[in-house]
Chains A and B, each alone.
Chain A
Amino acid sequence: MKSFKEVAPEVEATVVWHKDFKSVNDWDAVVIPGGFSYGDWLRAGAIAARSEAVARLSEAVARGIPILGICNGFQVLVEAGLLRGAFLPNEHGRFVCRWVRLRVERPRGPWLKLAEDGVEVHMPVAHGEGRYYVSSDEYKELNSSYPIIRYIPEQNPNGSSYDIAGLGSRDGYVLGIMPHPERAVTPLLTPRGFRPGGELIFRSISRSLKSGW
C-alpha cells in the first residue's frame, strides 16, 4: 500500500483479507504479499495454495488479471501450480535478510512493462525457504521463453537453481519474486551502493493499467 502511495499514487490499492476476496471482477490486479501463511506448516505456501482465495486467483489468471506474488506470495503461486518449480529451505539452513542485485531477463507483461531486457535492479530478500528449484528439462523451457529475474551469480543468497529469484508466466501476467520490491521504493531506506529497484514494478503496473501492456 505504502509502495503504491510512494511511487504510483494514482493507483488505488486496498488490503483485502483472503476470506473477503469474493470475486475477481472487483479488481484490476492482485498482489499477494510476503509474510507467512498458515504458519508455513507443511511447506511455505502449501496450505494457502489450497484455500478458496487462491482458487479464485486461478480464475483471475484465466481471465488475464495481472497477479504479483512477493516472497510468500511467490511460494503460494508455485504451490498452487500457477508458476513452475518448487521451493526448498535455503542451502545454508538460515534465514537470510539482505539487499541483493538482480537482473531482469525477457521482461514481458504488466509488471515489467518499464523494464529493459538485462536491466539490473536492487532490492532486499528476507526468507528461510527461498531456494527455488526446477529440473534441468523444465529450466530449458523457462530459459527460452519465460521472464526470469536472476540473482547476479555471486550474490545468490539461498542456493536457488540457476540463480532464479523471480519468474513470470510466459505472457508475464503472473509474476512471482522472492526479493521484496515493496521494501525498495524509497532512497531513504536504501543502503549505500544500491538503488531502490522495487519502484520499477509498481510504476510498471500503474502504467500498464492505464495504457495497456
Chain B
Amino acid sequence: MDTGTGEKNRTLTRRELVRRSALFGGAVVVAPIIAACQPGATPGASTSPGASGSTAAQKVTIRVWGYGLDDARAKARLNVFKAANPNIDVQPVGGTLNTQQLLTAVASGDPPEVINTDRTQVGSWAGRSAIDPITDLIDKDKFDMSQFYPATVEQVKYKGQTYGVPHFATIDLFWINNKVLSDAGTDPASVDPGNWDQLQSLGEKLAKVSGGKVTRTGFDTKMQDGRLYYWTWANGGDLFSSDGSKAQFTDAKAVEALTWARDAVKKQGGEKARAAFSQTQDFFSPNNPFLIGQTAMTIFEQWLLGVLADPGPNFAFTVLPPRKRNSKDPLTTVTGGAFAIPKGVKADKRLAAWEFIKGMVSTDAWIAGQKATFMDKQSKNQKYTPTITGNIKADQEDMNTVYKSIGPSYDAAIKTWQTALNAGKYPYSGPVAQQISDLVTANVNDALQEAKQPADALKKLNDDAQKAIDDYAKGPGNK
C-alpha cells in the first residue's frame, strides 16, 4: 500500500504502477511495428531470385485461380499437362474464383497467371481490363478454336477480340418422368417441347395441389431461375440487340413468354406454393424430386443425369432437346467456364499460361480426365455419366468409349446432347452481366409472384438494364 511517505523507493506507488504499465503496453504495441519496418525483418522471407517464380533451370511457376484438385478429373488432366511440360510448375487454387481477390490482385500488379471464370463474366473482366485478349496467342499457334462448340467460342469474345478458351459446357434439356405421365394417361412420346399450349395444359393436369399445398409440380418452366432468355428466344424474340448495347425486354415476344410462364405456374398452385414445395425437396439425394415424381416435366441442365444415375439406374425418363415454339428445330441455352489470362502477367509467364490453357483443354487431357473419373466412380461402385467439356472431339470420344451404358433412358438422353449443343445460344455476357442477371431474375420473379403484371415487370427490367448499360458506357464504376 502506498503510504505517500518515504517508502517510495522500496514500494511501488499507484502512480508508478500506472506509468510502468502504460510504458510496457505502449512498447508492446510499438515494438513489433518498428521490427516489422526493418528490412528483411519477416522471418523466413527470402530475397533470393529463386524463392518464387523461375529458377536457374528456367522453371516457370504459374498460379491458376478457380481450378481445384478436388476430383479425379482435375488431377488427371493436370498430370497430363505436367508430363508434357516439366518446366512449368502449376500452383492451382481451388474453389469458385473470388472476385474481390482477383480485383485486388490485378490492381496491385500481382495477378495469377490463369483464371478459370464463368463465361458470362468474361465480358465483365474484359470490359474492365482485368484480363488481356489472347487473339495474338491463338494466331501465333494457329490454335483451332473450331474444336469447341460455336456458342462457347462466341461467348468468350468481347469487342471482336478473344479473351478466353471454353472450359466445360452446360446445356438445358427437356426432362419427362415417363411413369408420372403414363399414370396420368399421357404418352411421354407425345410431348412436344415446342407446343406451349400442350405444356401448359399438361402442367395443370399433372400437378397435384391440395389445401394450397403443392405435392407435385406438373411442368416447371424454370422461368424463376433465369430462363427468360430461352423462352423468349424460343418464342422468336431476343432480349438484347446484336451488339448488346440495347435492352429489348419490352419485346412483345418476351412479354408473351413471361405471361405464359406466369399462367403456367398459376394453374399449378401459384409461385409461392411452388417455392414452398421446392423448400421441402432434397435435390442431391435418392429423393431427387424428378426421380421420385415430385416434378413431372421440367427444363433442366444435363448434369441432372449424374444426380439420377446412382439412385435410379432403372429410372424410365425421356430427355429431349428444347425446341423453338411451334417448331421441331432445337434450341437451348449453353453456359460454362473459360480459362483466361489476367492483365499484368509478365511475358514469359504469359506464354507458360497459354501452354497450360492449351494443354488442359486438349482432347488428350480431357479423355485422361474422363477415364480417371470413370475409374474413380467404379472404385466407389458409382455410375459414370459423361461431362460436356466444350471440346467437341473429347466429348464424342467420352460418349462413345468412356461412358458405359447405364440404361436405355440414359443412353438416349446422352444422344440428344450433340443436337442441343449445335443449337446453343448464350445469355448476355457483356460488361454488366452480373447486374443484368440479377435484374432479370428479380423482375421476372416479381411477375411470377404476381406482385407485378408481366408487361410492367419487363418495362422496369428494360429501363434498369438499359441504365446499367448506359452507366457503364460513361465509364467503369458509374452507377
Partners in one complex: no
Seen from chain B, the residues whose Cβ lies within 8 Å of a Cβ on chain A are: none
A: which residues have CB within 8 A of B?
A: none
